[in-house]
Amino acid sequence: MIEQLRFLGPRAVDGIEEVESSAYRRSLALEHGWGVAELGTGAGSERLAVELEDERDRPEALARCRRLLGLEADTSPIDAALGRDPLLGPLVRRRPALRVPGCTDGFELAVRAVLGQQVTLQAARNTAARLVALHGRPLAQASGGVTHLFPTPAAVARVASRELRLPRTRAGALRALALAVRDGELDLDRGADRTAARQALLAIPGIGPWTASYVAMRALGDPDAFLPGDAGVRRALERLGRDGGPASAERLAASWRPWRSYAVMHLWRSLAP
């Protein structure tokens, strides 16, 4: 869990997420009401606590937490395959059983991916926090800094670009994404048809291959998504003495199939101190 929390912490959005010491807390919009999940580590143990408005939502809340942490995957065959690669092998041995963090809601993840296009991580967090503050539903009972649920597709579809200070193209992509999910034209839940979802995402003006692959990787659970144009992938490959350009990265990653999502995680984590 430690590696997952190291990934989630720097991306936490004020209002729906909070990081305190070794604990990560976030809100959940569930069928019968709201929930707040707290994941933490310490004293050689890991903990998961879920506070719910309605106890009928407990199985779904726990399942979402498992997806968030990437616990559905058996990492043994993944480590075995990537560990034989001359480039990735040392990274796999440094961080065995590294998982791909998922998400608790595919729509939320996709919105955050769109907001993160061509901006810094901090800028994306700030914009997402503004969206939550303006259009998220306040919790009946706040849990620390977790005060809201993420906005619904219908709410995001009504957002004016000036509210979030977004470029016109990105604001249009955000609205089209929200409308597609609201109207049932785009399914971003775990278990959805990945090919259909990717095609629907790429059909939205302003959403490109990076965003579609990132959503496939974290929301749809695709173990073989790859992000050849990602800045972190480029830096990691160059640090390892390889050409980090998109075309070269794509060719290199062919030998990592069908586990390229996990290869991306190892490359990203190799950049950590």
3-state DSSP of 207-228:
CCHHHHHHHHHHCCCCCCCCCC
Mean pLDDT across the chain: 96
- Summarize pLDDT for 165-196 with one digit per residue, the tens: 999 999 999 999 999 999 999 999 998 999 99
Residue 36 has pLDDT above 90, yes or no: yes
- CA within 13 Å, CB half, 110: 34
- Summarize pLDDT for 53-73 with one digit per residue, the tens: 999 999 999 999 999 999 999
Question: Could you give the CA distance from residue 234 to residue 230 in angstroms, rounded to a whole number?
Answer: 6
Residue 272 has pLDDT above 90, yes or no: no
Q: Residues 79, 193, 230, 243: which is the catalytic one?
A: 230
Q: Is the dihedral of CA 7, 247, 211, 65 positive or negative?
A: negative
- Architecture of domain 74-101+222-273 in this structure: Orthogonal Bundle (1.10)
Residues paired with 51 in a beta bridge: 36
pLDDT at 88: 98
Q: What is the pTM of this model?
A: 0.95
Residue 16: what residue type?
I
Please compute the mean of the pLDDT values over residues 30-44 and round it to a whole number.
91
Q: Decide if 230 is catalytic.
A: yes
Question: Could you give the CA distance from residue 162 to residue 48 in angstroms, rounded to a whole number?
Answer: 39
- Among 60, 50, 68, CA closest to 1: 68
Fold designation for 2-72+103-218:
Endonuclease III; domain 1 (1.10.340)
Residue 116 has pLDDT above 80, yes or no: yes
Q: Say if residue 184 is exposed, middle or buried (CB neighbours under 10 Å; 0-12, 13-18, 19+).
A: exposed
The total of other beta-carbon atoms located within 10 Å of residue 27's CB is: 27
Q: What is the largest CA-CA distance in the chain?
A: 53
Give me the residue spans of the domains in the chain.
Answer: 2-72+103-218, 74-101+222-273
Residue 43 has pLDDT above 90, yes or no: no
pLDDT at 196: 97
pLDDT at 130: 97
Residue 2 has pLDDT above 90, yes or no: no
Residues paired with 41 in a beta bridge: 46
- Among 256, 222, 253, 238, CA closest to 78: 256
pLDDT confidence of 161, banded at 50, 70, 90?
confident
- Summarize pLDDT for 77-113 with one digit per residue, the tens: 999 999 999 999 999 999 999 999 999 999 999 999 9
Residue 21 has pLDDT above 90, yes or no: no
